[in-house]
Amino acid sequence: MTMPVRPYDAYAPATIASRQVAEIVEALRRDIVSAAIPPGAPLGQEALAARFGVSRMPVREAIRHLEAMGFAVTESNKRTRVAELSREDLIDIYEMRAALEPLALRAAIPHLTNAQIDEAAAIQASLAGADALTFGQLNQAFHMTLYRPSGRARLLAQVDALFNAADRYLCIAKSPPGQREKSDREHEALLEACRLRDVDGAAAVLLAHIGDARGVFEMLDWG
């Protein structure tokens, strides 16, 4: 299964009106997540307009979306810059994930169909051997597939945003050996609990899974 161009709707809290803007946002999101454009780097409107072959107007829109996603920061009259990464932010992201994702999963399981569980399983299967950027997207898709039946728009949007935020850290972290396998096992356990419609069991597995993922990042050493 090859990863199609990711529909922006998959992670957009607010839908993006214009296709053009959506493409710019997606391109920049990838560049920022992969650190091709590193933290602190300037995102000049004119330079981006030239790069994408459009006027500054759609670029401005895109930048606003990146700001809303927490990927960029702008001070008045100054050039937008890629948001910095920090240990505190990482902790923030994982505490919020741990608080919100079980909520989404619990609300989703009663509405979860077998087809949806199979869909998640298919994504999990396609996850083998993916590079960090693709892994992040597929992992996100896997989880969101299980949460989406909850129908909680606001909650889903926030969880999605947290995955995006975590992606940036995931891409710079070097996973210890065996991490992927561990994650795989946890995903399988999660699927199994979902198949049994075991709400408490699934929530417990999920919480442990999130905690584990956080543990990986804790290995990053910075201030």
Identify which range of 15-23, 99-107, 114-122, 127-135 contacts DNA by CB under 7 A.
15-23
Identify which range of 19-27, 148-156, 167-175, 184-192 contacts DNA by CB under 7 A.
19-27
Question: CB neighbours of 29 closer than 8 A, spacing ≥ 6?
Answer: 66, 69, 71, 164
Q: Which of 125, 119, 143, 112 is nearest to 184 (CA)?
A: 125
Closer to DNA by CB, 78 or 174: give it.
78
**41 touches DNA by CB under 7 A:** no
Q: What is the CA radius of gyration of the chain?
A: 18
**55 touches DNA by CB under 7 A:** yes
Among 10, 13, 20, 27, binds DNA (CB under 7 A): 20
Q: How far apart are CA 22 and CA 41, in angstroms?
A: 21
User: What's at 184, amino acid-wise?
Assistant: D
Question: CB neighbours of 43 closer than 8 A, spacing ≥ 6?
Answer: 28, 37, 63, 66, 72, 79, 80, 81, 82
Contacts with a second copy, residue ranges (CB under 8 A): 13-15, 17-19, 60-61, 64-65, 67-68, 70, 73-77, 88-89, 91-93, 95-96, 99-100, 103, 151-155, 158, 165
Question: CB neighbours of 60 closer than 8 A, spacing ≥ 6?
Answer: 45
Among 4, 14, 15, 76, binds DNA (CB under 7 A): 76
Residue 56's binding partner among DNA, a second copy, none (Cβ under 5 to 8 angstroms by kind) is DNA
Residue 21's binding partner among DNA, a second copy, none (Cβ under 5 to 8 angstroms by kind) is DNA
Closer to DNA by CB, 47 or 128: give it.
47
